[in-house]
């Protein structure tokens, strides 16, 4: 659970707790509260909406790890996610390269919610386990290790991509909804909002 999800969970529990407490006061302290009981019940519903949303997000992330295809990848670098800011800074996403089941090199941008600082970043060139399920990606932060992979040099080199090997498709940005062309198997940056898409 990242920091934003923790904050939303705390807010949800706070709203639901206060609403439930006020509902009990309205029921037992006053005779017949009537329609006034709806005011604290709105807080309960709002808090439950926060809690359910976070639990669904955590369940979806868990489904990627449980049912997803596991790949061993190399941490290639970091890119700034300019689609939003956290504490006045753009968060960093990890760029990884891996070989799929057919031996084709792929690139993925993993959202990590890292806002910078050497102590919270993964070292470039390290090996990490990633999971893919229905086009969604997740990673295991505890799996960062110094393992050497077969054909590792191909994953870490900065070779130019042959344009004839690229297959361009239309992509819809998940951040702003804009459509643009991107190469399959590589992460692309939305030209409109700056958010990253795994294609």
The pLDDT tens digits for 156-177 are 777 656 666 677 888 888 888 8
Which long-range contacts (C-beta less than 8 Å, at least 24 apart) are formed by 121-128?
A: 121/78, 121/92, 122/75, 122/94, 123/75, 124/75, 124/76, 124/77, 124/78, 125/74, 125/75, 125/156, 126/74, 126/75, 127/72, 127/73, 127/74, 127/75, 128/72, 128/73, 128/74, 128/75, 128/94, 128/96
pLDDT at 49: 95
Question: In terms of Cα–Cα distance, which of 146, 151, 155, 165 is closest to 107?
Answer: 155
Q: What average pLDDT score do residues 57-73 get? A: 90
pLDDT at 82: 80
Confidence (pTM): 0.69
Type and span of the H or E element at 3 = helix 3-29
Separation of first and last alpha carbons in the chain: 25
Angle at 88 between CA 83 and CA 93, to 5 degrees: 45
Q: What average pLDDT score do residues 110-117 get? A: 73
- How many angstroms separate the Cα of 44 from the Cα of each of 5, 16, 32, 39? 19, 4, 20, 9
Q: What average pLDDT score do residues 10-39 get? A: 87
pLDDT at 11: 94
Q: What dotted CATH number matches 69-164?
A: 2.40.50
Half-sphere exposure of 47 (CA within 13 A, CB side): 17
């Amino acid at each position: 659970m990242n920091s934003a999800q923790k904050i939303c969970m705390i807010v949800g529990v706070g709203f639901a707790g206060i609403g439930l407490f006020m509902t009990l006061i309205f029921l037992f302290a006053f005779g017949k509260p009537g329609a006034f009981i709806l005011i604290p019940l709105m807080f309960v519903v709002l808090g439950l909406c926060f809690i359910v949303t976070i639990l669904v997000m955590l369940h979806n992330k868990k489904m990627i790890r449980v049912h997803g295809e596991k790949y061993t990848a190399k941490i290639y670098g970091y890119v700034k996610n300019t689609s939003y800011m956290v504490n006045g800074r753009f968060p960093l996403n990890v760029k990884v390269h891996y070989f799929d089941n057919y031996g084709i090199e792929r690139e993925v941008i993993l959202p990590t919610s890292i806002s910078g600082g050497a102590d919270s970043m993964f070292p470039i060139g390290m090996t990490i386990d990633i999971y893919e399920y229905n086009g969604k990606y997740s990673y295991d932060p505890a799996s960062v290790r110094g393992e050497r992979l077969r054909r590792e040099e191909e994953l870490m080199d900065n070779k130019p991509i042959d344009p004839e090997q690229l297959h361009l498709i239309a992509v819809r940005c998940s951040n702003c909804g804009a459509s643009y062309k991107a190469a399959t198997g590589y992460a692309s940056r939305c030209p409109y909002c700056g958010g990253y898409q795994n294609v």
